Amino acid sequence: MKKIIITSLLALIVTSGFSQNFNTKRLDSLFQILEINNKFMGSIAISENGKTIYTKSIGFDDLASSKKSTSNTKYRIGSISKMFTASMIFKAVEEKKINLSQTIDKYFPTVKNANKITISNLLNHRSGIHDFTNDPEYLNWYTEPQSRIKMTERIAAGNIVFEPDTKGQYSNSNYILLTFILEDVYKKSYSEILNQKIVKPLKLKNTYLGGKISLENNESNSYTLSGKWEKEKETDMSIPLGAGAIVSNPTDLNIFIENLFAGKIVSAENLNLMKTIKDKFGMGILEFPYFERKSYGHTGGIDGFRSILSYFPNEKLALAITSNGAMGYDNNNILLCALSSYFNKPFQMPSFSNVEITAVTLDSYLGTYGSSQIPIKINITKKESTLIAQATGQPSFPLEPTASNVFKFDPAGVVIEFNAEKKELILKQGGKDYVFLKE
């Protein structure tokens, strides 16, 4: 998927834990399984009370040159960038350069409803401004440089999704506009502001606004698993800016969120505003419930990069996962393993089967399937020896065989069971079964 993405964390029941009981062997075992089966590429760092208690990196920065990933590898972090942008907006508020209740027509007179949309509405996705990454033509230009004028025109051209402050709906456009506001009030580039307000004070060594990927600078290319790892195209970073263009690594991300929650970036009062959830969104922060606990943070995805940053205030526990391989083993499952290792809860290790299926059998499953139960169609194609599924309006994804007629896609919790004689497939997801017939 090429657009800047937000994903949700899995719910999990947890109980108290202490780092002295942290089960490093469990995480080591998981990464060993993933590495042997070539299912994940990325890095993790876990810290407690500001002290790193676990790190691991597997995979490659660049497959073509077999350059292995290390703890120094840097990744595009996608929408976790929004936490940085929101923090800098609140710093501007504290410096009395802007206020949350002011409308944005001063900066963007051509944006619809600009005289009613406030900076606060941009921060918590209550502006009603459409998300430019949803535009059908977005994938035609996302790799090309875009000017501020052009990006503002694209955002202003979109339809109103809803009236300001009547609901919440995620939109990357909000944080593009916040980027431009920061540049206006500080009269500096976003990169300079980021460096001055966050990177230098926190002594972050691996965090900056990204440009073209540089392997020489320990940055990584991104890939999507479709039978084998395939290199993704690069979003030009003039597009996502403060919505998704920051480059970092797990250690730096943990330092950032620890300092944010320690009141060393914005005031406690403003941190509380950032944490206040309304219609699922805070101001640059999302809330992830874990039964009686809550963690705060953000997720991110851009091109083949996926990332998670989460912080448990009571335990002062920070966890960051960055990966440069999409459609393999889901980052959420790695997070689940990490939390089970910390909180001493059960975790089931994945098993990856090596089921071999003949080309004739695979070919019998190909085709377009429709269902009377849900209004989508599923198209099954083949790439080499891998089945590829694509539902109406959704990106395609590879299917991994678990039996000669049963396939799965773990990141979405999907299982598909074929019956070639009946010309049907059964889609199993979320505890429900949906029957599709071949057209």
For the cut 60, the answer to whether the pLDDT of residue 261 exceeds it is: yes
Residue by residue, what is the 3-state secondary structure of 119-149?
Answer: HHHHHCCCCCECCHHHCCCHHHHCCCCCCHH
- Facing residues of 142 across strands? none
% residues pLDDT > 90 (the chain):
80
Q: What is the pLDDT of residue 15?
A: 32
The answer to whether residue 212 scores a pLDDT higher than 90 is yes
Q: Are residues 97 and 242 in the same domain?
A: yes
Note whether 199 and 241 are same-domain residues. Answer: yes
Residue 349 in domain: no
> Looking at the domain assignment, is residue 163 inside a domain?
yes
Q: Tokens in use for 276?
A: 């206040």
Q: Which of 69-73, 197-201, 353-357 has the lowest mean pLDDT?
A: 353-357
89 plus 128 within the same structural domain: yes
Whether residue 365 sits in one domain with residue 339: no
Are 405 and 425 in contact, with CB atoms under 8 Å apart?
Answer: no
Q: Do both 53 and 178 map to the same domain?
A: yes
The answer to whether the CB of 97 falls within 8 A of the CB of 186 is: yes
Cα separations in angstroms, 112 against 138, 180, 311 = 20, 17, 36
What pLDDT, in 10s, does the model give residues 66-88? 999 999 999 999 999 999 999 99
Identify whether 185 is part of a domain: yes
Check whether residue 246 and residue 334 sit in a common domain. Answer: yes
Length of the chain: 439
Band (432; pLDDT cuts 50, 70, 90)? confident
What is the number of alpha carbons within 13 Å of residue 60 lying toward its C-beta?
A: 13
pLDDT tens column, 161-179? 999 999 999 999 999 999 9
CA atoms within 13 A on the CB side of 47: 20
Rg (CA), the chain: 22
Residue 14 lies in a domain: no
Q: Per the structure, how many domains does the chain have?
A: 2
With 50 as the cut, is the pLDDT of residue 197 above it? Answer: yes
**Residue 7 pLDDT:** 43
Take residue 25 and report the two structure tokens written for it. Answer: 């062997």
User: Residues 304, 260: one domain?
Assistant: yes
Contact 82, 175 (CB under 8 A): yes
Check whether residue 103 and residue 32 sit in a common domain: yes
- Tell whether 226 and 195 lie within a shared domain: yes
Q: Is the pLDDT of residue 351 over 90?
A: no
339 & 364 share domain: no
Residues 131 and 178 in one domain: yes
- Long-range (24+ apart) CB contacts under 8 A made by 392-400 are 395/1, 396/226, 397/327, 398/225, 398/226, 398/227, 398/327, 400/352, 400/353
pLDDT band of residue 20 (cuts 50, 70, 90) is low
Are residues 179 and 4 in contact, defined by beta-carbon separation less than 8 angstroms? no
Residue after which a domain boundary falls, among 280, 312, 343: 343
Residue 80 lies in a domain: yes
Domain that holds residue 387: 359-438
pLDDT of residue 19: 52
Average pLDDT, the chain: 92
pLDDT given at position 273: 97
User: Residues with Cβ < 8 Å from 404, sequence gap 6 or more?
Assistant: 355, 357, 361
Whether 3 is in a domain gets the answer no
pLDDT over 50 at 344, yes or no: yes
Asked whether residue 194 falls in the same domain as residue 241, the answer is: yes
Distance CA 266, CA 93 (A): 10
The residue among 300, 318, 343 that closes a domain is: 343
Question: What is residue 11's predicted lDDT score, i.e. its pLDDT?
Answer: 35
Say if residue 2's pLDDT is above 50.
Answer: no
Task: Report strand pairing: 325-326 vs 223-226.
Answer: parallel
The domain that holds 279 is classified in CATH as: 3.40.710.10
Residues 269-273, mean pLDDT to the nearest whole number = 97
Rounded to an integer, the average pLDDT of 337-345 is: 92
Query: Where do we find the tokens 């990332």?
Result: 307
The residue among 9 and 296 whose pLDDT is bigger is 296
pLDDT of residue 402: 84
For 116-137, what is each residue's pLDDT tens digit? Answer: 999 999 999 999 999 999 998 9
Could you write out the DSSP letters of every residue in 395-416?
--EEEEEEETTEEEEGGGTEEE
Q: Does residue 314 belong to any structural domain of this protein?
A: yes
CA nearest neighbour of 85 among 309, 211, 200, 240: 240
**Lowest-confidence segment of 39-48, 241-250, 402-411 by average pLDDT:** 402-411
Q: What is the CATH number of the domain that holds 408?
A: 2.40.128.50
SS3 313: coil
**348 within a domain of the structure (yes/no):** no
Domain end among 343, 377, 406: 343
Pairing relation of β-strands 305-312 and 317-323? Answer: antiparallel
